Homo-oligomer: A and B are copies of this chain.
Amino acid sequence: MKTATARAHPNIAFIKYWGNQDDVLRLPANSSLSMNLDGLYTQTTVIPDETLFSDVLVLNGEIASGKSLERVVTHLNMLRQRCEIVTHVRVESANNFPTGTGIASSASAFAALTVATAAVFEISMTERELTTLARRGSGSASRSVPTGFVEWHAADTHADSFAESIAAPEYWNLVDVVAIVSDQHKATGSQEGHTTAATSDLQIARVNGAADRLMRCKQAFLARDFATFAEVVELDSNLMHAVMMTSRPPLFYWLPTTLDIMQRVRAWRSQGLNVCYTLDAGPNVHCLCTADAAPEIQRQLQQVAGVMDIKIATPGGAAVVIV
């Protein structure tokens, strides 16, 4: 058998995914909306090997074991079942960005793994089906399969909870200026976090309003109406973190610098810059802005104490097989 290498970008959600209606199938509690991040990627090579008794995972150059391996093997088993293939594989995967710090590495990782595995097994699938399979590995991975700006639909069945592009990367020249405030691996991964969402008294209210927020966000996005877009994106991020902070036990992903930057972003916007913040399950602040505002945002962030690094990403394309 041949080998296959795929690349997928992480994505940043404008409307967040937090909590499942089905944890095994990873059917999300609400639909979400995101942008792929160009320049950042996971590159994954899948090498079938008839001589292997079990799968081997090499993560960023090191042989993986424990939970990381287990999660990948579970995903490979699901893919093998779909493809009706039994061969074990060696998976070599690497990110060009730090993992576990609020840039969703599991999204790009499971998108790349799914696309590479389908390619190496030579099974023809629609993009829609690929997004549902990627979803099984990590919910937000479904959003890293299609190109540009992507909507992932909540649904009651595996086949209906798919993701699709709502616009190409060129549609709106948004930039994600990511203020890295920690490169420590976070104490609670987002996978565990999703299962705690239901312990917050606020989760149901967040979920009940999500479809309306997604509609408002999508309309503002399609109209390139930054002011409306900014308001709903920040609200949705605040709602997710409100649920996190009121879960039992509570999850606090914010660091003092995180809060500092959030407040500065609001001040910059009130001074006329097209910028808003959003945070995933981590302390880094994604400052979403229009391209014309990006240099000034970067310059300002460089002056904030506690900002260790700044990553800049424009809208990224689909997950693709490169070899």
Interface residues of A (CB under 8 A from B): 201-202, 204-206, 208-209, 234-235, 238-239, 241-243, 245-246, 248, 250, 252, 254-260, 262-263
Contact = CB atoms under 8 A, between A and B. Distances in A.
Contacts of A255: 259
A16 to B, nearest CB: 13
Given A204-B205, A206-B201, A206-B202, A250 B235 contact: yes
A251 to B, nearest CB: 11
A243 to B, nearest CB: 8
The 9 A-B residue pairs with the shortest CB-CB distance, nearest first, are A242-B242, A256-B256, A205-B205, A256-B260, A201-B209, A202-B202, A238-B245, A201-B205, A256-B259
Q: Which of A202, A206, A239 has the most B CB atoms < 10 Å from its CB?
A: A202
Contacts of A209: 201
Contacts of A263: 252
Contact of A242 (B204, B235, B246, B256): B246
Contacts of A201: 205-206, 208-209, 239
A204 B254 CA distance: 25
A248 to B, nearest CB: 7
Contact of A250 (B202, B238, B252): B238
A245 to B, nearest CB: 5
Contacts of A259: 252, 254-256, 258-259
13 contacts: A201-B206, A201-B209, A201-B239, A202-B202, A235-B246, A235-B250, A238-B250, A239-B246, A241-B245, A242-B246, A254-B259, A256-B259, A258-B259
A204 B206 CA distance: 11
Contacts of A256: 256-257, 259-260
A246 B209 CA distance: 12
Contacts of A252: 259, 262-263
Contacts of A202: 202, 205-206, 239, 242
A196 B250 CA distance: 25
A11 to B, nearest CB: 23
A258 B246 CA distance: 17
A307 to B, nearest CB: 13
Contacts of A242: 202, 242-243, 245-246
